[in-house]
Chains A and B, each alone.
Chain A
């Protein structure tokens, strides 16, 4: 009995493949439209995904800088005592002292050929500072704010700076982009689902005689519906595969062109393509869309002839 059920499924599967090939032009149009939609979605996801990793990477070396008052000499003992106080603040993982001489050296390095303008200075105008590494839990904008406040109250600290605004607005940007991506995903799911649904309905229509005959000689609901689900799934999966291949092609060829103008958003690190898990998710998204479209188009198929 089990063998019979399996064979029935196999036959239904064969019929689905038959449907897929029966109207190659319709299938091709449906697949390419879906592929185009999924391509747009994929490109967008790549963009957002890479922005997100910038955010994560930036978060891992987020630093607070606490400046001592300008012009005040800080003896080594004083610096050591302040460093101890700073490490005592909750959320601070490590402290590094940057003397005013070291700060000037760095500035000189950054200026490079223009360092000559520093020659006219009578004395070093840069204050000594402490670079603070923040614990993993304290990197959210609110936590940073709190840490900055407690440090600011310490005696001997004049000013606290951190990348607050930049991080916050970038995070907001990424979040908005993610929401837009979700919206785009839902929109495309509806549009592409409707496309598959339309294609499958065409097949159902073309095969209505066959369906009626199959029913009359005892075909069950699943035997009749399965081929259409399979056809939808096949279209969705093929479209997703095609979209990923195309995207990868564009990625490999066109990346050098787009990377430079987008560097301000993506940072200097090399952007990454989808990993295997993400590729699988996209393919499953396509397959799911195809099935859903087929299911919708079969909702109105009557149970009795």
Chain B
């Protein structure tokens, strides 16, 4: 009897975000899938579609046929993984120090971490050009990685800090009381409990790096292009929308596949962990 109003309320709450996702996420994705199956137009865009038999997997065939694309994919994933790894190594001590500092100072330190966002992204990249140029490091893979790490570091620091800040100091005292040295306390208590933080930080770094085109384009050489550059090129320079769409779809599929594997591995490895998110 009283179910009706509850159901109605639930629908009223759930409907707007659902509609939003349908309209602005799923629909564009489907449009991209559709675009990837069509012919390029004569002057860019898409060729007119008269009947469904004109749909073609030509773009995919082309991408899978030329090993250069597989190579760029592989290199992009390596670069993204390397960037993520360096971000973890740099962000961990920083996040740990912030989480350990007195409560009143923490907010200020977090503000410092996100402060670079206050200035324009391109301006900051140009600053790197001025820094790396005189050192003869510009247009090298090093410059690309440095730029990517610099841009994405806050996305690793913030989730890690949020995680580390929640750790119960009593756990470390208990471990010490039971005979664990400083190092052991870190590896047996702090580190495993921070894995969820590392996980979310890694997702926030790894995935955007794959789509990033500005950093490789401005700081990297011709050999340093990533999938992001390739996609951007298809749309803006080659005007081959179907090929660009097919590249996006393959990238999305690869990322989703990877996320699935990571989730499975996480579930198997973590067992009953659930205390610290």
Indicate whether A and B interact.
no
